[in-house]
Amino acid sequence: MAHVSRFLVLLMVAGTVTAFSQERWQARSMVISKRGIVATSQTLASQAGAQVLARGGSAMDAAIAANAALGVVEPMMNGIGGDLFVLYREGKTGKLTGINASGWSPQGLTAEVLKSKRHYGMPQDGIDSVTVPGCVNGWEKLHQRFGRLKWNELFQPAIYYAREGFPVTELIQGAWDGSVGKLRADENARRVHLKDGKAPRVGELFRNPALGKALALIAAEGASAFYRGAIAKSILATSKRLGGLMSAADLAEYQSEWVEPVSTSYRGWKVYELPPNGQGMAVLSMLNIMERFPLGNHAPLSPEAFHLKIEAQKLAYADLQRYLGDPRFGPVPVSELISKRYAGERASLVQADKAACSSEAGNPISSAGDTIYLSVVDADGNVASLIQSIYLSFGSGVVVDDYGFHLHNRGGLFVLDKGHPNELQPRKRPFHTIIPGYMEKDHLHVGFGIMGGLNQAQAHAQFVSNFIDHEMNLQGALEAPRFTKLTFSGCDVMIEDRVPQTALDSLREKGHFLQIQGPFSSWMGGGQAVMHDSTAKVNYAGSSPRKDGAAVPEPDPYFVPRPARAR
């Protein structure tokens, strides 16, 4: 009996050790595959991209297909009426390429015109908040350079869901329901996006055949359908009907721009963002300040780690507000702002035990934003980091006649202050919040992004720190509790309630005014990430639980037909 008891004790210990080794604080595992993976904020779109990979498409083909599908199944966040930014790594050469497909303001839109319409600040919705949508032009240029499949194939999933319908998912339904007032204000929006004046229910089938018609035109005719063809004519007719100033030339002459990514080093990793007019420089500035402190010595949810990151955010965002604009209209001192020397000066302002609450000059631009981010890796190590948006939920609130899609309201981020880098001017691109991220070290190559307006740069920096300083994997780094600050001054900061109470109490003692949010708050932004290991030829991916999406792997070819056996 004695040795039986000892055996039972050993079994219990072994069971305890096994259970303990499986314990973790993150909810999901990473997706790991030798083939490609597509991570988006809605599972049907992830599946569409994975199917494109299985048909022989590149990571860029899959990204475009997934993005087009998201414009159907998550219409309040993105679509052909918005802008696009992409970072793309070519597996064969390792070269990283960037594109800025953000649109310019109409030639006729000026501060004087707005004042004549009794606008004394930039309107946040309506036709005068609309700039030229850059997305479709960006898609076409990216496909021409990096695509493998035929252009028209990429739109078949989106066209299918627009015509046949899709069941509305949970978080998307919540965003839809929260925008009913905005949708009711536009005749086209009421007809297309509401049924009996209400948003569709969770699981209810939603169709948008008018959007399917627009996507079919783009599939058949390319970007010219949007900027010079039938869709352009409807955009112009809609604008004219509402008293807008968009002209045929504003659309036809628009071109997205290939840009050189900007970067910094962070504890041995190279981190890349796109240059202005996007806020990517704030990510690099924030990381440079954070690098001055031994964050890895602090627990990830400790008050010390959160305090240092929050203070770095305030300093980086003060510069963002002061200097960001369209570099085609005036110099933006990016290299100076992301230099290590300057980071040293800024880091010296951080006090270890006291939050800085001084107000910065200028008018804060405060909004959560509505955006999609997706990342794709294929079996060849190509990585697409893509972000696309119509800005606020359902954009400007204006749906284009006959084609069922919203125009974005990016013009709302201009300011009317004379001499400000982000001052409204004709054919100028506004301050942009949407940014794709990428980082690499040795054989590891990571495409990542997190959504949510001004949340994005600070969320990027926290993701990088979670991954590098706190040694989390992709999924853990996306899931980890975060903070966000959507104002440019003061000590207010939102933070998720999964942060331990002792840490929250300590942050309050340092002077932070905490606004406690839910455990997986949408204010912190959903995100996606993929990683390619170029030595092992294995891919990894994660998807944030703050959205309805998932990382979906390309199916392995286990059902490939085999030759019939001889009888």
Distance CA 500, CA 503 (A): 5
Tokens of 223: 């970007």
Q: Which residue reads 């076409």 in tokens?
A: 140
Which residues are CB-contacts of 34 (< 8 A; sequence separation ≥ 6)? Answer: 379, 537, 538, 539, 556
Query: Could you tell me the CA-to-CA distances from 140 to 239, 258, 504 in Å, in that order?
Result: 24, 12, 48
3-class secondary structure, 77:
coil
**Alpha-carbon dihedral 306, 308, 314, 317, rounded to 10 degrees:** -90
Which residues are CB-contacts of 191 (< 8 A; sequence separation ≥ 6)? Answer: none
Which residues are CB-contacts of 232 (< 8 A; sequence separation ≥ 6)? Answer: 225, 226, 248, 251, 252
- The size of the chain, in residues, is 567
Q: Which residue reads 């039986």 in tokens?
A: 4
330-333: which pairs have CB atoms within 8 A and are 24 or more residues apart? 330/421, 332/275, 332/276, 332/281, 332/421
Tell me the β-bridge partners of 386. Answer: 86, 374
Distance CA 554, CA 556 (A): 6
Tokens of 550: 């998932």
Q: Which residues are catalytic?
A: 371
Burial class (CB in 10 A: 0-12, 13-18, 19+), 161: buried
C-beta separation of 525 from 456 below 8 A: yes
Query: Could you tell me the CA-to-CA distances from 491 to 179, 454, 511 in Å, in that order?
Result: 29, 16, 7
Distance CA 305, CA 313 (A): 12
Tokens of 36: 């490609």
Of 55, 76, 44, 63, the residue nearest 165 (C-alpha)? 44
